[in-house]
Amino acid sequence: MMPSVSIILPAFNRLNFLQLTIQSVFAQTFADWELIIADDGSAQETRDYLRSVTDPRVHTIWLPHSGNPSRVRNAAIEAAQGQYLAFLDSDDIWKPSKLDQQIAAMRARPQSRWSYTACDHIDANGDQLPKKPSRAIRPEGWIFDQLLRLEIGIAMPTVVADRQLVNETGRFDEQQLFGEFHDLCLRLAMKSEVLTLREALCSIRTHDQHYSADKIADSSGWIRLYEKMAHLAPSSSLRSYCSRMRVETSLNLARLQIDAGNFLAAWNTIRMALIGSWRHPRLWWGVHKRMIQLVVRRLFL
């Protein structure tokens, strides 16, 4: 019999966090799930632990290390059999009633083919962190505009989506190395209303082992995301917004590259920003200012 929910869990080491994450899956009051762990070439200690998890609902896919989170998650999605996909990262924790509440809500409102919940934040030791200011009351329905403008923050471990919907969107973009989950949510939001549960049903862990700590690569990922959405966004105003954000993000990337001493990369980034900014006079002048700063710093510092 097929499970109702396939839980998608990528793993790469971080065994101290991974064990707690998997324990939070076994603690779910909703029991009709399968857990698909896609291991991205972890070290022996982590592989030994995963082999020790013998519950028949748990399936581990062994992958050579790629460092590509989208590729790893897609491998798990390919193996999934449930009607719903629930996403979980290897350092985060679900509350015991998370799946129970979310699946019940989605079954009660089938026109919403995906859903998300509120969350809280914990540190590396599991201690509660101060609540972050909310960027918006968590809206539901058609949210593409708000999501694109970052008025909404959706954490990956809060999302459950109809598996067919995820397949219709093309799953994760394996060329989108950073911002890949926001990219997926934007494409989900183009195709379906979303349902929101305002109770914090998972804990997001903040620590120094997270791959997005690479700010240069992170900015490059967001530039690619805005380039994509400049073509996919459903209105001219949103497409223009994406073009503008691509330029602004490029300027931020150039600053990071200059700070890192990579002047050639910064010059190329600014040159591409200049090409993309001609429709936005304020940004066009801002790009020129950044070019001057780069030349001065390169020559005199």
Say yes or no to pLDDT of 272 above 90. no
- If one compares 58 and 230, the residue with the highest pLDDT of the two is 58
88-137 residue pLDDT tens? 999 999 999 999 999 999 999 999 999 999 999 988 887 788 876 555 45
- Report the pLDDT value the prediction gives residue 56, as an integer from 0 to 100: 96
Helices and strands of the chain, counted as H and E runs: 11, 8
CA distances from 186 to 54, 160, 196, 267, 299 (A): 36, 14, 15, 31, 42
| Cα–Cα distance for residue pair 75/61, rounded to 1 Å | 8
CA distances from 225 to 7, 94, 131, 216, 229 (A): 26, 28, 28, 14, 6
- Report the pLDDT value the prediction gives residue 256, as an integer from 0 to 100: 86
Q: Going by C-beta distance under 8 Å and a sequence separation of 6 or more, which residues neighbour residue 158? A: 116, 117, 118, 119, 201, 202
Residue 253 tokens read as 């990337």
Return mean pLDDT, the chain: 88
Domain ranges of the chain: 5-209, 214-300
The band of 38, judged by pLDDT with boundaries at 50, 70 and 90, is: very high
| Cα–Cα distance for residue pair 264/266, rounded to 1 Å | 5
Residue type, 106: M
Burial 89-123, CB ≥16 within 10 A → b, else e: bbbbbbbeebbebbbebbeeeeebbbbbbebbbbe
What is the mean predicted confidence (pLDDT) over 131-144? 74
Q: Going by C-beta distance under 8 Å and a sequence separation of 6 or more, which residues neighbour residue 43? A: 13
What is the mean predicted confidence (pLDDT) over 15-38? 97
Q: Which of 57-61, 117-121, 128-132, 294-298 has the lowest mean pLDDT?
A: 294-298
The band of 296, judged by pLDDT with boundaries at 50, 70 and 90, is: low
Q: Which of 137-146, 148-157, 192-201 has the lowest mean pLDDT?
A: 137-146
Closest CA to 119 of 148, 87, 73, 144: 87
Q: Going by C-beta distance under 8 Å and a sequence separation of 6 or more, which residues neighbour residue 99? A: 5, 28, 29, 30, 33, 86, 160
Q: Count CB atoms within 10 A of the CB of residue 168.
A: 14
Q: Going by C-beta distance under 8 Å and a sequence separation of 6 or more, which residues neighbour residue 64? A: 41
Beta-ladder partners of 63: 40
The band of 280, judged by pLDDT with boundaries at 50, 70 and 90, is: low
- Report the pLDDT value the prediction gives residue 299, as an integer from 0 to 100: 45
Closest CA to 84 of 143, 28, 166: 166
What is the distance, to the nearest Å, from the Cα of residue 82 to the centroid of all Cα atoms in its chain?
21
The CATH H-level superfamily of 5-209 is: Spore Coat Polysaccharide Biosynthesis Protein SpsA; Chain A (3.90.550.10)
Q: What is the pTM of this model?
A: 0.87
Largest Cα span, the chain? 70
Say yes or no to pLDDT of 83 above 90. yes
220-259 residue pLDDT tens? 999 999 999 999 999 999 998 998 888 888 888 888 888 8
Q: Going by C-beta distance under 8 Å and a sequence separation of 6 or more, which residues neighbour residue 24? A: 93, 94, 95, 96
- Report the pLDDT value the prediction gives residue 73, as an integer from 0 to 100: 98
Residue type, 219: S
Give the Cα-Cα-Cα angle 139, 115, 183 (nearest 5 degrees): 85
249 three-state secondary structure: helix
Say yes or no to pLDDT of 286 above 60. no
- Report the pLDDT value the prediction gives residue 136, as an integer from 0 to 100: 46
- If one compares 118 and 207, the residue with the highest pLDDT of the two is 118
Say yes or no to pLDDT of 1 above 90. no
Q: Give the ranges where the chain is alpha helix by DSSP (H).
A: 15-26, 44-52, 69-79, 98-108, 144-148, 163-169, 180-191, 215-232, 236-259, 263-276, 281-300
Give the Cα-Cα-Cα angle 183, 131, 13 (nearest 5 degrees): 55
- If one compares 173 and 278, the residue with the highest pLDDT of the two is 173
